[in-house]
Structure 1
Amino acid sequence: MFPYLSEYLLEIWGPFRLFGSYLVLLSMGAFAGAVANWLLLPRLWRYMPRDQGKPFVKNSEEAKGKPTGAGSIVVGISLLLWIFLMPGTWRMWGMAVCLFLVMLTGFGDDCSEKPWSEMKKGLLDFVISLAAAAIYCQCDSMVIWLPLIKGSAVGGGFLVPAWLYIPGAAALLWLSINAVNCSDGVDGLAGSLTMLALFSMGAFLYAVTGHIDISKYLLLPHYADGARWAVLIACVVGSLGGYLWHNAKPSSVLMGDAGSRFLGLLLGMSALASGNPVLVLVAAPMLLINGGTGLVKLVMLRTLKRLGFDVRQPLRNVVNPQRVENFASDDDVKKQLGLVRLAHRVRFPLHDHCRKNRNWSDTQVLVRFMLIQGFLTPLLILLIVKLR
C-alpha cells in the first residue's frame, strides 16, 4: 500500500517519496512489529491455551500452565503489517495463505488437551508444504543456483523442471518446519535462532539476489520479488523481537507450535525465494543441526526396527522406566548395531543432550547456540557465493 501512496503523497510533501523505498519499508515493518507485539502480547495471552507440560522433557514443569500458542498473535501482526506495507503478487498471496494455514494447524495442536499424533502433524505439514511448493513455482520450471558450481541457465543457475522442483521443495519445507519445531524446548532458543536466520535471509534477499546489479556482479540469478520477501521477513523479525522480550527466561509466554511451525515454513520459503535451497542450512545451521538431526535419528531407528534390528534404548540411560522390557539391558546393548549404540549416546534435540549430558544451563545453551550460528552464517554465505 505504501509504495502506491507515495506516488500521490509526493505532490503534498517531497519526503513522502521514502514510502516507496524498500529499505524504509523494511525498517518500518521491523519497528512496528516489535512495538505491536511488545504491547499487545501481555494483553492478549490471557486468552491463549495453557501449556500441558511434556513428559520426559527436562524442566517441562516450569512451562506447565504458561500461556502458549502466542505464535498466532505474532503471525497475525506480521502478516497484517506486510499487507499494509507491501502490495504482493498473487504468488506471494498464495504463500501467505500457506503460512497462515500452517500456523492454524500448530494452534490447533496447542489448544488440544491431547497432543496430536506425529502422523497427523506430519501429514498436515506435508500437504501444506506441497501446496506451497506448487504455488511458488506456479507449476513451471524454476531457475536455481548451487554453491561451488555454475549452471548454463540465467545467472549461472540450473533450470529445474516442475515435476522435480515441487517434491524437492516440499521436502525442504517439511524439514524446515519440523526442525524449527523440534528446537522449541528452551526459553527463547527457537525464536532467537530463527530471528538470526531470518535476518540473514532477509538481508541476502534484499541486497544480493533482489538487487539486479549486485546479483549480476556475483554471477547469481536475479529474483525480482527478493525485496518483497525481505519486507515480510523484516515484519516477522521485528515481531519476534517483541515476543522474545516476554519469552526471555524465565518466560511469561510460549509461542507453541503455532509459532514454530510458521517460522519453519517461512525459513524454508525464504530459501526458495533466494533461488538456492542449500541456503537454509547456511542461514540456520544450528536450527537444522539441533532439530533436523533428531528427525534423521528417528527415521533411522524406525527403519532399522522395521528391518528386525533391536533399537531399544539402554536401560541404564532411563530414570524410573515403567516397563523394563521396552529397554535394552547391558547384554542386549552389546548385541546391537554399532550405529544404534552410537545414536543412543546422543540425545536429540541436541539442546537436550547439552542440558542433560553436558550439564549446560538453559542460558548457556541459548547463548552458545546463538554464538555458533552467528559466526557460521556469514562465513558460509561468503564461501558459497564467492567460491562459485
Structure 2
Amino acid sequence: MLVWLMHHFAPFLQRLEDAASGDSRVFLTARTALAAMTSFIVAWLFGPMAIRWLKSRFREPIKSASDRLNELHAAKAATPTMGGLFIVGAILVAGLLCGDLSSPYVQQGLFVTATFGLLGAADDWIKIRTHKRGLTARQKFLLQFVLALLVSGWLYSVQHDKPHGLEIVWPIGKLAISLGPLFVVWAAFVMVGSSNGVNLTDGLDGLATGCLIIAGTAFTVLCYVAGHHGMAEYLAAPYFAGAGELSVLFGAMVGALLGFLWYNCYPAQVFMGDTGSLPTGALLGLGALVIRQEVLLAIVGGVFVVETLSVILQVAWFKLTGRRLIACSPLHNHFVFRGEHEIKIVVRFWISSALLALIAVASLKIR
C-alpha cells in the first residue's frame, strides 16, 4: 500500500529521491523498519486478546512419544497454543502495508507465510481436538512438499534467466554449481527442510522464537545486500534486482516474533505451535533461495540444522544398535533430561544462534 501511495505521489517525493536506498526509489530502509515496528505493535498489542481467545479453545496437549518428557513438561499442559496465528497475522498485515505488492518475491513470501501457516494450524487443530499427535509425518511432509513445489516452480520462472539465478553459490570463493530445472526440486527440499527444522526446535519456552529472531535479522541484512547493487558488488555477493523487497518481509517477521516473545518467554503464556514454526521456517528457506545463499542458511540456521540432525541420528542409531545416542531428541530435550534449567538451555541456544549468524554475515567479505 505504501509503495502504491509513493508511486502516485511521486512528484512530491522528487527531491527526496536521492535519499532512497540502493536501487529502490521507495525508501526500502524506512519501509523495512516500519514493517518491523508495525508487526511488533500488532503482535504485542493484540497478544493478550489472542491469548485469552486461544486459552478458551486451544490448550497445549502434552503427548509426546516419551513418557518421561511428558512428565517433565506436565506443568505446560494448560498453556494455550497456536500462537502462530498472531505471528502470521502480524507478518501479513505489515507485509501488505509496507511491501511492494507488485514484486514476485513479496508475493511468494506472503503466499508461503499464509499457506504454511494454514497447514500448521490444521496440524495443531488435529493435535488438540483428537487423540492423534497431529498429522502423520508422511501427511505433513507431503503437504509441505506440494506447497513448496508450487512456490519453487514460481520462483524458477522468475530466476531462470538471471545470472546465478539457478546456482548453488559457495560463500567463500567463487564456486557455483548450476542446477538448471533441478532447481525446482532442490528449492522445495530447502523450504521443507527449513520449515521442519524450526518446527523441531520449538520445544522450550522462547527457544525457537529467539533463534528465529536472530536468523530473521541476519536474512533482513542479507536480502538487503542482495538487492543493493553497490553493496552486493562490494561484498561479492550475487545481485538480484528487487530481492531487497524481501528484507521488508523479514523485518516484519522479526517484529512479529519480538512481539510474540513478550508472551512466549519463560514461563510461556502461549506457544506458537506448528501454526508459527512451519511458515517462519519456510520463509527463511525462501529468502535463502531468492538470494542464492542456501549455504549461509545452513550456517545462520545452524541451531535448526543440529536439532534436525539430532533427531535423524537418534532414530538411525536406535535402529542400528537398539540404544539411544542421546538421552532424548531433539537436542534441547537431551539437556532437559540432564537436569539443566530451561532458561539456561534456551539462552545458550540463543548465544549459539547469534554467533552463527555473525559468522554467516561476516563470511560475505571472505572471498
Residue 230 of structure 1 is matched in structure 2 by 247
CA RMSD of aligned residues (A): 2.4
**Match among 349, 360, 365 for residue 380 of structure 1:** 360
Q: 1:148 aligns with which of 153, 159, 172?
A: 172
Matched, 1:133 2:152: yes
CA distance in 1 between counterparts of 2:354 and 2:219 reads 13
Residue 29 of structure 2: aligned partner: 23
User: What SS is found at the alignment partner of 1:193?
Assistant: helix
Confirm or deny: 8 A CA contact 1:91 1:135 kept in the other structure.
no
Contact 1:98 1:131 in 2 (8 A): no
More displaced 10-residue stretch of structure 1: 19-28 or 237-246: 19-28
Confirm or deny that 1:259 pairs with 2:283: no
Give me the whole-angstrom Cα distance separating, in 2, the residues matched to 1:293 and 1:130.
26
1:323 matched residue in structure 2: none
Please state how far the C-alpha of 1:9 moved relative to its aligned partner.
4.4
Corresponding position of 1:74: 87
- Aligned counterparts of 1:38 and 1:104: Cα–Cα separation in 2: 21
Instruction: State which drifts further: 65-74 or 139-148.
Output: 139-148
Q: What's 2:219 paired with?
A: 201
Q: Distance in 1 between matches of 2:52 and 2:33?
A: 30
**What is the CA distance between 1:244 and its match in structure 2?**
0.5
User: In the alignment, is residue 39 of structure 1 matched against residue 45 of structure 2?
Assistant: yes
1:2 partner amino acid: L
Q: 1:85 aligns with which of 68, 77, 98?
A: 98
Aligned length: 343
Q: What TM-score, normalized to structure 1?
A: 0.81
> Which of these residues, 50, 65, 74, is aligned with residue 61 of structure 1?
74
State the shift of 1:143 in Å.
3.7
Q: Check the 8 A contact 2:232/2:238 in 1, yes or no.
A: yes
- The match for 2:201 among 176, 183, 186 is 183
Once the two structures are TM-superposed, the CA of residue 60 in structure 1 deviates from its matched residue by 2.3
- Indicate the structure (1 or 2) with the bigger Cα radius of gyration: 1
Q: CA, structure 1 residues 203+90, in 2 after alignment: closer, same or farther (shift >3 Å)?
A: closer
Which secondary structure does the structure 2 equivalent of 1:66 belong to? coil
Distance 1:133 1:8 in 2: 32
Counterparts of 1:325-340 in structure 2 under 5 Å?
none
Aligned to 1:98: 112
Whole-Å separation in 1 of the counterparts to 2:94 and 2:360: 31
State the Cα distance separating 1:296 from its structure 2 match: 4.7
TM superposition shift of 1:262: 0.8
Change (3 A) 1:15 1:43: farther
Gaps of 5+ in 1: 152-156, 314-342
Detail structure 1 runs of 4+ shifted over 4 Å in the superposition: 7-19
Gaps of 5+ in 2: none
Do the aligned partners of residues 38 and 15 (structure 1) sit closer, same or farther apart at CA in structure 2, a change above 3 Å counting? Answer: farther
Sequence identity (%): 25
Structure 2 residue 331 is matched with structure 1 residue 312: no
Question: 1:289 maps to what in 2?
Answer: 306
Structure 1 residues 267, 36: CA separation in 2 closer, same or farther (over 3 Å shift)? same
Distance change in 2, residues 1:4/1:101 (3 Å): closer
Q: Aligned letter for 2:98?
A: L
* Contact 1:9–1:16 (8 Å) recurs in 2: no
Once the two structures are superposed, residues 71-115 of structure 1 have per-residue CA deviations (whole angstroms, 9 ceiling, x without a partner) of 022102211211121223245424422331111111111112222
Q: Which amino acid aligns with 1:387?
A: I
Comparing 194-203 and 80-89, the one that deviates more: 80-89
CA distance, structure 1, for counterparts of residue 366 and residue 99 of structure 2: 34
